[in-house]
Amino acid sequence: EVAQVYIDSLTVKMTELVSDYKEQGKDLQNPAVQQQLNVDFSEHAQKSGEDALLAIGTSMKQFETSVKAHSENPTVNKSIQEIQMKQQQDLMGIGSAANN
């Protein structure tokens, strides 16, 4: 599913950034560091998502159009919610790993 590819690419990007921050010795519990991490992620997330979509032959515009067109479909909504829940769990795992 295209949404899975897109969201997975965002999770991978956040994992990479957290790893980079840890390697640099940054305190991920520090609110200022967390804010900078979020800024860095927002700067890189769009390109990461677009690149992942292009790798499977889909443009960001096609993806956004498809999501919008199917926004009322309960099956699609359920699938996207499940993907987002998995992403949240993955990101929470990254946060737990960051504490070590």
| Angle, CA 49 vertex, CA 5 and CA 97 arms, to 5° | 75
pTM of the model: 0.78
First-to-last CA distance in the chain? 33
Q: Which portions of the chain are predicted below pLDDT 70?
A: 95-100
How much is the pLDDT for 1? 79
How much is the pLDDT for 87? 86
